[in-house]
Amino acid sequence: MHKIVSAIFLAENIKKIEIEAPRIAKKRKAGQFIMIRVGQSGERVPLTIADSDPEKGTITIIVQGMGKSTRELNTKEAGDTISDIVGPLGTPSHIEKFGTAVSIGGGVGTAIAYPTAVALKEAGNYVITINGARSKELVILENEMKAVSDEAYITTDDGSYGFHGFVTQKLQELIDSGKTIDYVLAIGPIPMMRAIAEVTRPYNIKTMVSLNPIMVDGTGMCGGCRVTVDNQIKFACVDGPEFDAHQVDFTNLTDRNKLYLPEEKKSAEAFAHKCNLQSAGLQYLLDLSLCHHDFPAVDLCRDGFFCINTPSFLIEITMATQHITTKERFAIPRQEMPAQKADVRNKNFKEVNLGYTPELAQKEALRCIQCKDPACIKGCPVNIKIDQFIKLIADGNFLGAARKIKEDNVLPAICGRVCPQEDQCEKTCILTKKHTSVAIGNLERFAADYERETGNVELPTVKASTGKKIAVIGSGPAGLSCANDLIQLGHSVTVFEALHELGGVLVYGIPEFRLPKEIVKSEIDGLKKLGVNFITNAVAGRSITVDELLKEEGFDAVFIGVGAGLPWFLGIPGENLLGVYSANEFLTRVNLMKSYQFPENDTPVFNCKGKNVAVFGGGNTAMDAVRTAKRLGAEHAYIVYRRSEAEMPARLEEVHHAREEGIEFLMLMNPLEFVGNEQQWLTGAKCLRMELGEPDESGRRRPVPIKGSEFILPIDMAVISIGNGSNPLIKQTTPDIEVSKRDTIVVDMNTMATSKDDVYAGGDIVTGGATVILAMGAGRTAAKAIHEKLTGIETVQPV
Ligand code: FES
């Protein structure tokens, strides 16, 4: 929580708010911004930092109440708090001695132009400021601008103050007067910035604009803020927000910023209505949900969806497990995982799989023939003692089973749900030779759920303090497993997370229906009880750097487990049309920001109801995205994949579930171009049919285009799910960490040590997109190496 120190209106609807944020105040530079989440159901909104006071530990923002979030922010007073602030984000303004520099602010953009004008002055420039507003009452920061300017001009559209006209006219007047201008920075509404670009273009004056596209995370993770600059896609939050005005595609920026206009209007109206009721003393109407006026009904996940006809599991089972013969074990069929009915679950976000009952779990456990040399253990990346925990389940000792698993796996309830066991432990189960493998993942999940649901979670012992401090960057599976091992070994551990919630990909990437967030929270709560310190809203490479952690904050080692969060796009025409998402953005909106509960939660997402949605890709993330679209009401939800189903990398269970839920699989199809209407909304994907040729370097049969087979697939929304690259922030701010050609961090795989002393890395940032359990294994390997390096004490296993 961040306390508001002061809040005053500068003009109607424009408020200056000073907030406690010491870390940001210390680091912020001109041109940088923060993401702010006003309350628990709020959206993440980017706002530029107008000023900061490192001594006081405060930052100042200037907010114009436009949408719901900014209006809500403007109702805040001194002493109130704000849930989340993350920053400073974005690349700072490039400041040098240009000569004569003109800083132009339009409306509330003046608040952003101000710190840059200060920095330009400090760099020795002759600074001219032009501060534009619609009328005199809306002029802000006049005195502050004058104080840093060699020449300062105010313009008003209505002529009520200063120069009568637009900022562009004033700029043109200055140019026409023969003044040499070397640099222009313009910040304000898009039409103003576009017009400035056209004024300076003929004179070849270097002109920068600070762009304000829609953002979700602000950390380079979703691609929602993408803009076209010099015909290339750039992410405004990490590559910008300032770009060369003469290279920006303003048409596309304008179109993309219209994406959620209807939703924003609805949300702002609902907020205004709420304020009216409150000020009329009618809060009780809201509390009692009696007032539905203007609140659009959210008809998903509201009520009545969890009506599962659970089969009756009347299983007679002998508890005398020791006496069952191998033949009898073979005779037991693999126990099916109970699940919600497909036509029920495809309309809700509750978990699909319901978990084994104790009877089912015991029956399944009896199938394990307790091999002398269990191959399944070798198939598990963290070598869980599978035979032992399954025997404990068969014996009815469910808590014992959970604790046995936890000797090797800190997140069993998560792994039991999302690990691809069929390609790991279950693949190597001896039973697969003649039968189906033991359902190891289902049993792992059962034991973990039993321990948690019966309130019997037992904390492991923590060794005496070593006095060593370790920073873990990223709270996904790699970071959590590393933190778990290190805390138990007696180290002080602090985990830094970029988002406002802990769990990394487990919370923003994997949907609730596959991994309920309460499971992730409960596993993380366990780590908190052990003493792990968690800091949210801390972006590595922006809020903190690896060098700062080692040199200024006194950490003895750093583990980087930030995942692979930079979404790849197809690189085909039309990818910036409205309605084209990366899977990261779509899933982050729905999973992290709970946009399926819009407008109760402020973050909107494309309204899929009755629409055709295509997800391009064939992995688990693609399955998550397409099943999410179906739950949001899509009429047709397609998977479009360029190879055949046999080559799809998604887990069989996910494909099976998706098909049951009505997902349509369009195989051997490759998108060539997205097409749209005059308003720039997506209307279809031009696709080419393929056939399978010879195997390629991956061993899968290569898709070969069928000439002349192009056709248009009519769709309203597209989700690109073809994988992720590495977020560039760590590389940019820690150049002495060696990275590969793919920008992944290079490590010694035996220790996960990077090329930089005392810095380790693991998970997707090292391997590229992989599995939860592999990331956890890497976290544990690093923990072991860190412990040995810091203490000189060798450990066979981390714990
Ligand atoms: Fe920029 Fe998500 S907001 S990548």
Give the C-alpha separation, 539 to 562, whole Å.
Answer: 10
DSSP state of 645: G
For the chain, how far is it from start to end, CA to CA, in angstroms?
35
222 lines ligand 1 (CB under 6 A): yes
| C-alpha atoms less than 13 angstroms from C-alpha of 103 in its C-beta half-sphere | 29
Once rounded to an integer, what is the mean pLDDT over residues 204-213? 94
Give how far Cα 351 sits from Cα of 340, 344, 417, 517, Å: 8, 11, 10, 10
Q: Nearest CA to 636 among 670, 605, 655, 608?
A: 608
DSSP state of 748: B
CA of 681 to the centre of ligand 1 (A): 20
Q: Nearest CA to 635 among 613, 614, 610?
A: 610
Give the C-alpha separation, 111 to 795, whole Å.
Answer: 55
pLDDT band at 566 (very low <50, low <70, confident <90, very high): confident
Which numbered atom of ligand 1 lies nearest the CA of 214? 3
Which numbered atom of ligand 1 lies nearest the CA of 216? 3
Once rounded to an integer, what is the mean pLDDT over residues 213-226? 91
CA of 731 to the centre of ligand 1 (A): 18
Three-state DSSP class for 46? strand
Q: Mapped to the 3 state alphabet, what secondary structure does 343-368 carry?
A: HHHCCCCCCCECCCCHHHHHHHHCCC
DSSP state of 749: T
Phi then psi dihedrals of residue 751, to 5 deg: -125, -15
Beta bridge partners of 101: 127, 183
- Whole-number pLDDT of residue 291: 35
223 lines ligand 1 (CB under 6 A): yes
Whether the predicted pLDDT of 673 surpasses 90? yes
DSSP element (H, E) containing 496: strand 492-496
DSSP element (H, E) containing 420: none
Phi then psi dihedrals of residue 607, to 5 deg: -80, 100
DSSP element (H, E) containing 152: strand 151-156
Please say whether the beta carbons of 745 and 646 come within 8 A: no
Which numbered atom of ligand 1 lies nearest the CA of 236? 1
Q: Mapped to the 3 state alphabet, what secondary structure does 541-573 carry?
A: CCCECHHHHHHHCCCCEEEECCCCCEECCCCCC
216 lines ligand 1 (CB under 6 A): yes
Give the C-alpha separation, 686 to 663, whole Å.
Answer: 20
Give the C-alpha separation, 539 to 471, whole Å.
Answer: 13
Please say whether the beta carbons of 672 and 686 come within 8 A: yes
Residue with CA closest to ligand 1 atom 4: 220
CA of 236 to the centre of ligand 1 (A): 7
CA of 392 to the centre of ligand 1 (A): 47
pLDDT band at 338 (very low <50, low <70, confident <90, very high): very high
Residue 704 CB neighbour total at 10 angstroms? 12
Give the C-alpha separation, 284 to 309, whole Å.
Answer: 37
Whether the predicted pLDDT of 33 surpasses 70? yes
- Whole-number pLDDT of residue 72: 87
Whether the predicted pLDDT of 20 surpasses 60? yes
Task: Read off the pLDDT of residues 469-494 as tens digits, 9 standing for 90 and up.
Answer: 999 999 999 999 999 999 999 999 99
CA of 223 to the centre of ligand 1 (A): 5
Label residues 501-516 b or e (16+ Cβ within 10 Å = b): bbbbbbbbbbbbbbbb
Once rounded to an integer, what is the mean pLDDT over residues 55-70? 88
User: β-strand 81-82 against 206-210: which pairing, if any?
Assistant: unpaired
Percent of the chain with pLDDT over 70: 92
Comparing 74-88, 305-319, 587-601, 739-753, the range with the smallest average pLDDT is 305-319
Whether the predicted pLDDT of 53 surpasses 50? yes
Which numbered atom of ligand 1 lies nearest the CA of 584? 2
Burial class (CB in 10 A: 0-12, 13-18, 19+), 535: middle
CA of 675 to the centre of ligand 1 (A): 24
CA of 711 to the centre of ligand 1 (A): 32
More confident residue, 717 or 564: 717
217 lines ligand 1 (CB under 6 A): yes
Beta bridge partners of 127: 101
590: its two tokens = 């729905």
Q: Nearest CA to 246 among 231, 268, 262?
A: 231
- Whole-number pLDDT of residue 183: 96
Indicate the Cα dihedral angle 459, 464, 467, 472, nearest 10°. -20
Q: Number of helices (H) and strands (E), helices first, in the chain?
A: 28, 32
Chain-centre distance of CA 259, in angstroms?
Answer: 19
pLDDT band at 296 (very low <50, low <70, confident <90, very high): very low
Residue to probe by mutation, ligand 1, list 219, 260, 593, most atoms within 8 Å of CB: 219
Once rounded to an integer, what is the mean pLDDT over residues 491-519? 93
224 lines ligand 1 (CB under 6 A): yes
235 lines ligand 1 (CB under 6 A): yes
Model pTM score: 0.84
Please say whether the beta carbons of 14 and 29 come within 8 A: no
Residue with CA closest to ligand 1 atom 2: 222
Residue 250 CB neighbour total at 10 angstroms? 19
CA of 214 to the centre of ligand 1 (A): 8
618 lines ligand 1 (CB under 6 A): no
Give how far Cα 131 sits from Cα of 46, 99, 139, 399, Å: 22, 20, 8, 68
- Whole-number pLDDT of residue 589: 94
Please say whether the beta carbons of 640 and 614 come within 8 A: yes
29: its two tokens = 């530079």
**Nearby residues of 528 by Cβ (< 8 Å), 6 or more positions away:** 534
Which of 336-340, 396-400, 712-716, 740-744 is predicted most confidently? 712-716
pLDDT band at 234 (very low <50, low <70, confident <90, very high): very high
Whether the predicted pLDDT of 419 surpasses 80? yes
**Nearby residues of 397 by Cβ (< 8 Å), 6 or more positions away:** none
Angle between helices 477-488 and 772-791 (to 10 degrees): 30
**Residue 46: cis peptide before it, omega within 30 degrees of 0:** no
Burial class (CB in 10 A: 0-12, 13-18, 19+), 522: middle
The alpha carbons of the chain give a radius of gyration, in whole angstroms, of 28
Give the C-alpha separation, 134 to 136, whole Å.
Answer: 7
CA of 105 to the centre of ligand 1 (A): 24
CA of 310 to the centre of ligand 1 (A): 42
225 lines ligand 1 (CB under 6 A): yes
Q: Nearest CA to 108 among 72, 66, 64?
A: 64
Task: Read off the pLDDT of residues 612-629 as tens digits, 9 standing for 90 and up.
Answer: 999 999 999 999 999 999
Indicate the Cα dihedral angle 591, 593, 596, 597, nearest 10°. 130
pLDDT band at 290 (very low <50, low <70, confident <90, very high): very low
Phi then psi dihedrals of residue 660, to 5 deg: -60, -35
Phi then psi dihedrals of residue 357, to 5 deg: -80, 165
Comparing 42-46, 241-245, 319-323, 768-772, the range with the smallest average pLDDT is 319-323
**Mean pLDDT score across all residues of the chain:** 87
220: its two tokens = 């380079």
More confident residue, 139 or 320: 139
Comparing 42-51, 221-230, 323-332, 755-764, the range with the smallest average pLDDT is 323-332
pLDDT band at 171 (very low <50, low <70, confident <90, very high): very high
Q: Transcribe 599-642 into DSSP letters.
A: TTSS------TT-EEEEE--SHHHHHHHHHHHHTT-SEEEEE-S
422: its two tokens = 């069929």
Once rounded to an integer, what is the mean pLDDT over residues 25-39? 90
Whether the predicted pLDDT of 154 surpasses 80? yes
Whether the predicted pLDDT of 799 surpasses 70? no
Which numbered atom of ligand 1 lies nearest the CA of 224? 2
579: its two tokens = 């309605």
Three-state DSSP class for 704? strand
Q: Which residue is listed with tokens 């004490």?
A: 793
Once rounded to an integer, what is the mean pLDDT over residues 736-742? 90
Once rounded to an integer, what is the mean pLDDT over residues 278-298? 42
Phi then psi dihedrals of residue 412, to 5 deg: -65, -35
Please say whether the beta carbons of 184 and 104 come within 8 A: yes
CA of 560 to the centre of ligand 1 (A): 20
Comparing 200-214, 257-271, 772-786, the range with the smallest average pLDDT is 257-271
Q: Transcribe 202-259 into DSSP letters.
A: GGT-EEEEE-----SSSSSSS-TTEEEETTEEEEHHHH-SEEETTTB-HHHHHHHTTT
CA of 779 to the centre of ligand 1 (A): 26
